[in-house]
Chain A
Amino acid sequence: MTEKIILAGFGGQGMMLLGKLLAQAAMTDGKYVTYFPSYGTEVRGGTAVYCLIISNEEIFSPLIEEADTLIVMNQPSYQKYKDMVKPDGLLVLNSSMIKSNNLPDVKTYQVPATEIASKLGNVLVSNIVMLGAFLAIKKLFSAHLILEQLQAMLKGKKGNLFSLNKQALESGMQVIKTV
């Protein structure tokens, strides 16, 4: 098993955390994992993109030329990376912020992550909604394993953050189950 995932959004949409949770889960699960941020030039703003590879075998290059999965949060990132998905790959997009009438010819799930997150009371958890959706589709790890990682990361932070994130994860999973 090798799963190559590209995560893209603009800085501040929490793609770093989304990938880190998956990477931590993979590590805990005894898998090989590489997680690599690739910035543009030494300037701010714009797109944040991360390459995450999870495998049962040694991973050589941490860069991704063809992705099994693209999880994407906003329009510019979508335009930039949509063609990097393999023909039999998976596209999970934040339909609250991405509008497109000619989607690439790959299996696509549209998740209104920003809307769901604002309904939960905090747009900042839209990344976790996306993570929930991805978990429900690919079932790489159990929700329990991810929640464990989240708990460890949020340790020491204010108490209700965990329950908010948990709700976000579950809502994301629910979206997939109901489509």
Chain B
Amino acid sequence: MKDRLPGGISIMKQLLTGNEAAAEAAIQAGCRYYYGYPITPQNELINYMSTRMPEVGGAFIQAESEIAAISMVHGSAAAGGRAMTSSSSPGISLKQEGISYLAGSELPCVIVNIQRGGPGLGDISASQADYFQAVKGGGHGDYHTIVLAPCSVQEMADLVYDAFDLADKYRNPVIILGDAQVGQLMEPVEFHKKPKKNLPAKSWALTGAEGRKKNVIKSFYPVKGQLEEFNAHLQRKYRTIEEHEVRYEAINIHKADVILVAYGTSARICKEVVKKSQQYKFKVGMVRPVTLWPFPKEIIRKVSERVECILTVEMSAGQMVEDVKLAVEGRCPVHFYGRTGGGVPTSLEIIRKIVEIVPDNRAANTLLQLAAVK
């Protein structure tokens, strides 16, 4: 990688925060339009962009508000540019109007949410309480955004890179749903240059109607019947996305007695429980959704046919667990363990919860042994 980074570092592996990695990956994916507004814990992203965008000849604007920033994204996306904005929970709430318009206008863009505790001003520590908002719409109308959930700095870089392709491929906004931990954590990261995908040309973009019929970008369908037709088209697109774009990581699902379902930061901790349990008789497996929408229903349905029960772990009062239950449809019990307000579950807490929901000595013995191993 020849591109220079602030500080003049040009080695292959770099130690970056998740926020910085998201920014750098966006630049490497060809994003040249970034609009943001400061908010902790995503400040490293906007700060990085303010230095880096001018270096590559791109546009950086610190907007007057999150509402303005998402609307600037609306404009650049309509004009055919690769555009991005980022914020954290309170600011993402403000962006909902714009996201609904972007989805309704079928405009590709990437929106990063480094979640913090809510509701209201909440606090600045890690949280996963915006799952409903990201996955179920957030703004008004029948729409979906593609939602990707990184659990490490490397995955942050990889998913942001892919997000731009997914957005362009489906003409749809893509949300990166991180949290204060994955945003501020520093880990080694590499930026893999990937082969260019064959993406459809943006013949719909506003470029000036020189020699062609005019293009109009809009979400307004006032003539009776038109809006219903448009919504049917959106729904067909969403079904295609559900069919082709589901991503997840499955660990030890074939031998597992209990399956953990978790994403992002809480999945990292679950992984520790899974890895440790492999040397014992009672085994824990895990499904980690990488796309939260489309949700990996199929794999969860499949494992639910075999395991004793499923435990969903989140940093919320219980949001994704509803989608897990919808996928399981009563085939096995679905339990929940969550922490809120900046609380991050520990592996010991998760083990205790498993012991509680599997009232069987086999599980208890193994797992308590496990808990003793530090």
Contacts and interface: CB of A to CB of B under 8 A. Distances in A.
Would A and B touch once assembled, by the CB under 8 A criterion? yes
A36 interface: yes
A111 B347 CA distance: 35
A65 B349 CA distance: 13
Interface string B3-29: 000011100010100000000000000
B8 A155 contact: yes
Contacts of A152: 9
Nearest to B182: A62
Interface string A1-34: 0000000000000000000100110010000011
Interface string A66-107: 100000000000000000000000000000000000000000
B331 interface: no
A61 B187 contact: no
Contacts of B181: 36, 62-63
Contact of B269 (A20, A60, A155): A60
A21 B105 CA distance: 47
Contact of A60 (B9, B187, B271, B374): B271
A41 B180 CA distance: 12
Nearest to B7: A153
Contact of B185 (A20, A39, A62): A62
Given A60-B272, A61-B346, A34 B186 contact: yes
A120 to B, nearest CB: 25
A159 interface: no
B62 interface: no
B320 to A, nearest CB: 19
A35 B123 contact: no
A65 B184 contact: no
A156 interface: yes
Contact of B124 (A24, A27, A41, A58): A41
A35 B185 contact: yes
B347 A61 contact: yes
B287 interface: no
B366 interface: no
B306 interface: no
B40 interface: yes
B344 interface: yes
Contacts of B187: 33-35
Contacts of A38: 125
Interface of A: 20, 23-24, 27, 33-39, 41-42, 58, 60-63, 65-66, 152-153, 155-156
Given A23-B186, A61-B346, 10 more contacts: A20-B15, A23-B15, A27-B15, A35-B185, A38-B125, A41-B124, A58-B275, A60-B268, A62-B185, A155-B7
9 nearest CB pairs, A to B: A60-B272, A35-B186, A27-B188, A42-B124, A36-B185, A61-B269, A60-B268, A62-B185, A27-B15
10 contacts: A20-B186, A33-B188, A34-B186, A37-B184, A58-B275, A60-B272, A60-B347, A61-B344, A62-B181, A153-B7
Interface of B: 7-9, 13, 15, 40, 123-125, 181, 184-188, 268-269, 271-272, 275, 344, 346-347, 374
